[in-house]
Structure 1
Amino acid sequence: MDGLFPTLQLLSLTPPGWGGALIAGLVASLELAVGGYVLGLVIGIAAAFGKLYGGPILRDLMEIYTTLVRAVPELVLILLLYYAGTDAVNQLLALLSMPAVDISGLAAGIFVIGVVQGAYSTEVLRGAILAVSPGQIEAARAYGMSPFQVMRRVTLPAMLPHALPGLANLWMIATKDTALLAVVGFSELTLTTRQAAGTTKAYMTFYLAAGVLYLAVTLVSNLVIAVIERRAKRGTPPLGATS
């Protein structure tokens, strides 16, 4: 009991406790994860359709993008995109005789995670699109639907059950990838935990607390994903069922 009260004081939400800082770091991590995941989905949808239905040049460019991003370690990509990306933007503005901009850490972090997520989302969505029955797409075209209508009304809804397991896994990866941004000084949960542990020397306490917070995010995510999967699979026959 004597050791419990100092621990609770360290984790309290008000100073001198670090609980409030850890919660703020968790919120920053979730902002990064959600923003990067959504951006990655947008990139993934566009790149998947580009690889499947684009011209030779577009297909080659998308193939280079997905191959490079998946081949290079994520930490190296984060360092490269975070620093070189912001520098490239300001150099472009300088060429246009425009003043340099101070890109926020959150925006840069979302961009970095989005680019990484986009490469993996591309392959997940490409496989899901290929799993859609060609007859459904041909029937939609026979009804006179435009390519955009076919994509919105047929392809995307039909591919969703096939894509959900892979996309759910990518969401889990996105929540963990936010920790890598600690190396560039963004105050997400991992960096805040390291600062708290370094200041108080209570390393076990704070790293266990961070682990519990990450675990809580994972458990809640699993519940939400399970609900989405049940709704997406309504009306589809169970695996292995025969007609």
Structure 2
Amino acid sequence: MIDLQGFGPQIALGAWMTVQVAFGGLIVGLVFGLMGAAAKLSPYAVLRGMGQSYTTVVRGIPEILVVLIVYFGGEDIVNRIAESVGYNDYIEINVFVAGVCALGLSFGAYATEVFRGAIQSVPVGQIEAAVACGMHSHQIYWRITLPQAMRLAIPGLGNLFQVLLKDTSLVSLIALPELMRTSQAAIQNTKEPFTFYFIAALIYLGITTVVLVGQIYAERWANRGVKRASA
């Protein structure tokens, strides 16, 4: 049996923090992804340009730099705003919020393309039928387009989420006590890097396995009506 030398609770808390950061980044990223897809599919050139700029810039920067820019850049902006209104004490932004926002920003840039492809895959005939029934554009989007796009996007979003889950290790650079940060602290005290890196690898593998199983069930649930209709 592997001896964790008393660091078991810290490792468990780090794993729980990793899960929280991952799901927080997922929620933020889905919002950015939907907004980015809507912008890129917009009939307005300005919105299309904004959507294209967002995906190009964020996907062109390593995630580690996104994390550092969001954390240190956000802290700098907050303090400049505080100084402009006469507040001179230094303000530190919450590392959890910064980590979630940074990972969500990166996730959203890739999710934008997943959503865009899914929305474009919705049969045009269904949109035309909704228009013929007298539905307004926002009703068509929420009742026809988005539900089907979400079904089509699940495989791609699931793959992106597994990548996001592993990218949570990057937030250890801003001192968030997630799994890698707590593992490194244990290694510094015990001088047993293989043991704790191996434990961290097993935990990541376990979490991604659970996510994969959840993705499979989500795909089955989303496609159950489609299968019956095509049978």
TM-score w.r.t. structure 2 length? 0.93
> What amino acid maps onto 1:187 in structure 2?
P
Tell me how far 1:101 sits from its aligned partner.
4.2
| Offset at residue 235 of structure 1 (A) | 2.2
Letter in 2 for 1:228: A
Per the alignment, residue 91 of structure 1 pairs with 80
Which residues of structure 2 form unaligned runs of 5+?
none
Q: Under a length normalisation based on structure 1, what TM-score does the superposition of the two structures give?
A: 0.88
Partner of 1:13: none
Q: Does 1:189 align with 2:179?
A: yes
Q: Could you report, residue by residue, the CA deviation over 1:185-223 in whole angstroms, capped at 9, with x for unpaired residues?
A: 211100110110121011111111111110110111111
Please state if 1:44 is matched with 2:33: yes
Q: Report the number of matched residues.
A: 229
Shift of 1:88: 1.3
Deviation at 1:92, TM superposition (A): 2.6
Counterpart-to-counterpart distance in 1, 2:50 and 2:85: 26
Matching of residue 8 in structure 1 with residue 3 in structure 2: yes
Work out whether residues 105 and 186 of structure 1, in 8 Å CA contact, stay in contact via their aligned partners in 2. Answer: yes
Does 1:80 pair with 2:81?
no
Give the corresponding residue for 1:129: 119
Query: 2:71·2:98 contact (CA, 8 Å) conserved in 1?
Result: yes
Q: 1:66 aligns with which of 55, 62, 69?
A: 55
Give the stretch that moved more between structures: 99-108 or 125-134: 99-108
Unaligned runs of 5+ in 1: 11-16
> Structure 1's 9 and 88: CA in aligned 2 closer, same or farther, altered over 3 A?
closer
Name the CA distance, whole Å, in 1 between partners of 2:226 and 2:91.
50
1:86–1:108 Cα contact (<8 Å) kept = no
Whether contact under 8 Å (2:71, 2:93) holds in the other structure is no
1:55 aligns with 2:44: yes
The one-character-per-residue Cα deviations of 1:101-158 (angstroms, maximum 9, x if unpaired) are: 4321111111111111110111110010011111111211222222221111101111
Q: Percent identity?
A: 38
